[in-house]
Amino acid sequence: MRYLFPAEMGYSMNDAKATNQAFGLLYHLTEILSPGRFRMTQEERKKLITDFLSANAGRSDEDTARMLNMLVESLAYSKLQELLPQAQAQGKAETPPQPEKKKKHFIKFTKKELDQMNGKFKNMFAHGDKIITYRQKKNGVYEIRFRRQGVDINVSSKDPSVLKKKFIEAFNNYIATGSAKPRTMHTVLFNNCALSWLSLKEKTTKETTFREYKRLFEHDIAPAFADKTLAEVDREFIQNFLFRYTEEGKMRTAQKLHLILRCIFDLAASDYKFNSPMEKVVLPRHQSKKGSAFTYEEEKQLVEFCINNPKLSASSALLVLLYTGVRRSELATLRILDENWLECDTSKEKMGNDLVSRKIPITPMLRKVMPHIDFEKAKHTNLNTINTTLKRLFPHHHTHELRYTFITRCNVRVQKGNYEKIIASKQLFSMR
């Protein structure tokens, strides 16, 4: 047995314990450190202690206690040295075998292939051209699972070269649309396609026309076609959608919606190579109502109302519309040329064409009510205010019928040969 010296144990000469405590420790240590089959008997322990005391006869209690403590700790240290190798060997034996790590495979992309990817994410591939790990499944299929910076792509193929092409296509689709799936009629939503069509119309049609397209889309089309792909919108679905309006008597609305849907599907069919379902969609035959002119009694009632209510913002505008025949959309462009003529810009010209001005004669009836007309006020009156005011007076008439009334009165004058009272030649006065 190897004994420790005071320097190894870190003792100083002043660190002695009481003698009786040291005897107790030594006795207990011989009990627990002896191997089971060589456990010391009572007599053997007494002999060990007696021999130790004989060897230290004549020493003081303090020295004896110190020596006993050294013996106790030396025994403990020796036993610990024996146990440590056994524990280490046992720990190694109990460690379960680690499975072999699967070797990672990499797909190498050429510079040309990297250039085909969206530039925003090229800096994600930081290790040269070794950027995408893939695995080969038990069935022989190669698979890429790419998840970085919010991009989530999963593609597979039995051919690694095809796998690369699929990844590039899916990657670019994800950047462009937020989905790794290719853009086809089965993946593109109808409403997204409709919004693309609207963005084109915003740049190629007049503002008033675009506003009407947008209103019909947001109010009628978008809610009915929500979350449907182009493939899911078939002829039957569209037909039933339009029939709901015709059954409610909204024939004009159904015709407008039919026109918009046909334009959207023409664009989509060209982009995604499929036959438009609008080719077989039909609407019931319908004769649009052209409206009717005001009777002379209604005309008189309207004029009296406007004269008696000069503070109403719509009064001047209604008189101008009645006795000039201009459209509501042309009212804001009305100009006084001289004592006999007015002028406005025609609103029916297509976007991109030069503005066409139209001269309007000041008729005898207009001249009579001109003292009651504030032309500047009329030009800036809200169109909805004009419509509302007229509907309150004549619920069965609409504002455009003021134009019909003016045309009707002109025709009557011309037929009677009153050329001096109203000029209606195509050169000077055209009802375009």
Q: Are 305 and 393 in contact (CB under 8 A)?
A: yes
Give the model's confidence band at 49: pLDDT under 50 very low, under 70 low, under 90 confident, else very high.
low
Most confident of 28-37, 129-138, 147-156, 412-421: 147-156
> Does residue 121 surpass a pLDDT of 70?
no
Average pLDDT, the chain: 76
Quick one: which H or E segment has residue 99? none
pLDDT digits (tens, 9 = 90+) for 316-360: 999 999 999 999 888 999 999 998 999 998 877 666 666 788 899
Q: What is the dihedral of CA 367, 372, 378, 379, to 10 degrees?
A: 50
Q: What gap in Å lies between CA 203 and CA 196, rounded to an integer?
A: 11
Q: What is the pLDDT of residue 290?
A: 73
Collapsing DSSP to helix, strand or coil, 143 comes out as strand
Q: What is the pLDDT of residue 165?
A: 81
**Higher pLDDT pick, 160 / 210:** 210
Give the model's confidence band at 44: pLDDT under 50 very low, under 70 low, under 90 confident, else very high.
low
Q: What is the pLDDT of residue 424?
A: 38
> Does residue 130 surpass a pLDDT of 50?
no
Q: What does the pLDDT average to over 284-293? A: 78
Give the model's confidence band at 4: pLDDT under 50 very low, under 70 low, under 90 confident, else very high.
very low
pLDDT digits (tens, 9 = 90+) for 362-402: 988 899 999 999 999 999 999 999 999 999 999 999 999 99
pLDDT digits (tens, 9 = 90+) for 236-279: 999 999 999 999 999 999 999 999 999 999 999 998 889 999 99
Q: What does the pLDDT average to over 296-318? A: 93
Sign of the torsion angle spanned by Cα atoms 360, 366, 367, 369 = negative
pLDDT digits (tens, 9 = 90+) for 61-72: 666 666 666 665
Q: What is the pLDDT of residue 225?
A: 95
Q: What is the pLDDT of residue 145?
A: 77
Give the whole-number percent of the chain exceeding pLDDT 70.
Answer: 60
Q: Are 30 and 41 in contact (CB under 8 A)?
A: no
Q: What is the pLDDT of residue 173?
A: 72
Q: What does the pLDDT average to over 78-96? A: 56
Q: What is the pTM of this model?
A: 0.49
HEC-encoded secondary structure of 264-296:
HHHHHHHHHCCCCHHHHCCCCCCCCCCCCCCCH
Give the model's confidence band at 115: pLDDT under 50 very low, under 70 low, under 90 confident, else very high.
low
pLDDT digits (tens, 9 = 90+) for 135-157: 788 888 888 877 776 677 778 88
Residue 140, by phi and psi: left (phi above 0), alpha (psi -120 to 50) or beta?
Answer: left
Q: What is the pLDDT of residue 26?
A: 54
Q: What gap in Å lies between CA 325 and CA 310, rounded to an integer?
A: 21
Give the model's confidence band at 171: pLDDT under 50 very low, under 70 low, under 90 confident, else very high.
confident
